[in-house]
Amino acid sequence: MIALLIGLAVAAPPNLVLISVDGLRADRLGLPGLGPTPNLDRLAAEGLSCSLSFSQSNESLFSHAAMLTGRHVSEIARPDYQRFVVPETALQVPEVLALYGYTTAAFVAGGHVKGSYGFAQGFGRYEDEDDFGSFFHTVPRALRWLDSTPPSPFFLFLHGYDTHRPYQHAGLFFHVYDRDYPGQIDQLSDRAGVERIFRGVYYADFPVSYFWHGAAEENILDPTGYARLEAWAADHPGTPVTAADLHHLHAHYDSGALAADLHVGLFLDALKDRGLWENTLVLVTADHGEDLGDHGLFNHRSALFDSATRVPLILAGGALPKLRQGASIEGLCSALDVAPTLYAAAGARPPAGLTGRDLLGDGPPPAVVIQEGVLPMMAVRSATHRLVVNGLPLDSPLLPLMVRAAPIEGPTFQLFDLRADPGEQTSVLSAQPAVALQLRQSLLDFLASREAATHQGVQPLDPAFRALLQSRGYW
């Protein structure tokens, strides 16, 4: 009888690896020929992937908070980007998994994913870079940790900024694409350089100090900065960004994607070499994309379009059920699904109140994905449409009333039909008002059902780190 019981023993819980390729657009995967993500393409072909996956926001801090807690941004803390930190009361994935015997560690590339923003809580080890680093920095650290960690189930979070602006990362793949480009766009070597491109024109002399917020700190986030740029540009000459220039900026971005893909591929190979692959579930995704001029700007924080929020999502590894290998996840996916999927794989009971789904289960996909931006904007994305809501303060207790009271035909709302307009260039609100009203109701339902957080934190005030963020275009 004892032998029989031993034979029926439950299999050991799998190791879990979460990889966030910061800034990677979904449309960079699966490109034919010399695409920039061959390792991720192979991983998607062998694993389980979702083609309609979206981040919960358009910036690293908000998006990773949603990813690691399984909650919308406004349910974690007040969505005030200048004060947002993950509070101790918000349970993160490593805190829960540690209760089930998991060893936990994170190796992140710094920036707005530093542990001092609240992300370190629950991790047995949390190492972040001083600057905006890449997988070149974090992968070796993660492998050294694996070599020194006892063979208990582990949860590992791995992160890199390889595809983040300014798309000028010097390195092995700096000019692997478009090497014969004859133009001068490579001169945009500083992080604020691409922010001087506005509506297809580059204003080399535009003072970045014009981007200010109320605390008198440099801040490219402030949307009034673009209004100032537009007014300033009326009296100053600029240089049109040619099609060749735009193509070359895209080539630089793809070089960063190739670098990220190489290092992630080396990490996955290392799991196999160490005999860890067969009992490991790997989840690869991104926190946001990059607009890359699709809407006249070169960042990810100024809009909630697909270019900035549609991201890859791949599940792979030997612990992925055989029946799901080489398959696709139907319907919409989002960052809210990451935590429930990891909990289910570990056999862990998720915290109450999570609304995401286990992507390995049989739960139905959501009808919409709700997204909250770092500027006063929200979006409701269905499988076919996107409703964008602009100009309403996300942290106001009157937000539901303002969403309901704003005229649907007014400037607050824009509606895009992704079937006819995948680039989201022309609002069809006047032609499809019923769809807009339906999506607004979905947003109102979310606002009525959520538990809006009131926590307002204090962000890291280390002078050196603050100066670093300011030099990168943040306050």
Write the pLDDT tens digit of every residue in 377-426: 999 999 999 999 999 999 999 999 999 999 999 899 999 999 999 999 99
pLDDT at 5: 41
Residue 472 has pLDDT above 70, yes or no: no
Number of domains within the chain? 3
Residue 462 has pLDDT above 80, yes or no: no
HSE, CB side, 13 Å, CA atoms: give it for residue 413: 28
pLDDT at 46: 96
Least confident of 24-33, 38-47, 161-170, 206-215: 206-215
Q: Is 157 found in the same domain as 55?
A: yes
- CATH code, domain with 281: 3.40.720.10
Tell me the per-residue pLDDT of 236-289, one tens digit each, with 9 for 90 and over: 888 888 899 889 889 889 999 999 999 999 999 999 999 999 999 999 999 999
pLDDT at 216: 37
Q: Is 233 found in the same domain as 262?
A: no
Q: Is 153 found in the same domain as 99?
A: yes
Q: Is 404 found in the same domain as 284?
A: no
Q: Is 70 found in the same domain as 26?
A: yes
Q: At 168, is the pLDDT very low, low, confident or very high (cuts 50, 70, 90)? A: low
Q: Is 227 found in the same domain as 98?
A: no
pLDDT at 468: 59
Residue closest to 254 by CA, chosen among 10, 29, 474, 76: 29
Residue 224 lies in a domain: yes
- Please give the angle made by the CA atoms of 23, 24 and 26, to the nearest 5 degrees: 135
**Sign of the torsion formed by the C-alpha atoms of 353, 355, 358 and 361:** positive
CA–CA gap between residue 211 and residue 228 (Å, rounded): 8
More confident residue, 202 or 49: 49
pLDDT at 235: 83
Tell me the per-residue pLDDT of 184-237, one tens digit each, with 9 for 90 and over: 777 665 666 777 787 788 887 777 665 544 333 344 445 556 667 677 777 888
In the chain, the percentage of residues whose pLDDT exceeds 70 is 87
Residue 177 lies in a domain: no
Q: pTM for the complete prediction?
A: 0.91
Of the residues 345, 367, 389, the one at which a domain ends: 367
Helix 243-273, helix 38-46: angle, nearest 10: 60
pLDDT at 469: 60
Q: Is 430 found in the same domain as 445?
A: yes
- CATH code, domain with 388: 3.30.1120.10
Residue pair 314/20 in contact by the 8 Å Cβ criterion: no
Q: Is 150 found in the same domain as 61?
A: yes
Q: Which residue has the tokens 């005999």?
A: 275
**Sign of the torsion formed by the C-alpha atoms of 283, 284, 285 and 286:** positive
Q: Is 222 found in the same domain as 96?
A: no
Give residues with Cβ within 8 angstroms of 13, minimum separation 6: 100, 101, 102, 153, 345, 346, 347
Of the residues 326, 343, 367, the one at which a domain ends: 367
- Indicate the length of the chain as a whole number: 475
Tell me the per-residue pLDDT of 287-331, one tens digit each, with 9 for 90 and over: 999 998 898 877 787 889 999 999 999 999 999 999 999 999 999
Residue closest to 136 by CA, chosen among 116, 158, 105, 115: 158
Helix 243-273, helix 135-148: angle, nearest 10: 10
HSE, CB side, 13 Å, CA atoms: give it for residue 59: 22
Residue 457 lies in a domain: no
Q: Is 21 found in the same domain as 128?
A: yes
Q: For the residues 347-374, what does the mean pLDDT come to?
A: 95
Residue pair 324/341 in contact by the 8 Å Cβ criterion: no
Largest CA distance in the chain: 88
Amino acid letter for position 88 = E
Give residues with Cβ within 8 angstroms of 254, minimum separation 6: 28, 36, 177
pLDDT at 34: 78
Give residues with Cβ within 8 angstroms of 243, minimum separation 6: none
Residue 81 CA, chain-centre distance (Å), reads 15
pLDDT at 199: 77
List the beta bridge partners of residue 18.
157, 283
Q: Is 390 found in the same domain as 351?
A: no
Residue 160 lies in a domain: yes
Segments of 332-456 assigned E as strands = 333-334, 369-372, 377-381, 385-390, 413-417
Residue 363 lies in a domain: yes
Residue 39 has pLDDT above 60, yes or no: yes
Q: Is 87 found in the same domain as 26?
A: yes
CA–CA gap between residue 61 and residue 300 (Å, rounded): 12
Residue pair 307/295 in contact by the 8 Å Cβ criterion: yes
Residue 454 CB burial class (10 angstroms; 0-12, 13-18, ≥19): exposed
Residue 173 lies in a domain: no
Tell me the per-residue pLDDT of 105-156, one tens digit each, with 9 for 90 and over: 999 998 889 999 999 999 999 999 877 788 999 999 999 999 997 778 999 9
Q: At 48, is the pLDDT very low, low, confident or very high (cuts 50, 70, 90)? A: very high
Residue 475 has pLDDT above 50, yes or no: no
Domain that holds residue 217: 192-244+463-471
48-50, strands of its sheet edge to edge: 125-128, 103-108, 154-160, 15-21, 280-285, 313-316, 48-50, 327-329
Pairing of strands 280-285, 103-108: unpaired
Q: Which residue has the tokens 């690691």?
A: 68
Q: Token digits for 82?
A: 């200048």
**Rg value, the chain, Cα:** 22
Mean pLDDT of the chain: 88
Amino acid letter for position 299 = N
Residue 301 lies in a domain: yes
CA–CA gap between residue 154 and residue 101 (Å, rounded): 8
Question: Torsion-angle region of residue 131: left (phi > 0), alpha (psi -120 to 50) or beta?
Answer: beta
Of the residues 318, 349, 367, the one at which a domain ends: 367
HSE, CB side, 13 Å, CA atoms: give it for residue 119: 29
Residue pair 387/436 in contact by the 8 Å Cβ criterion: yes
Residue 203 lies in a domain: yes
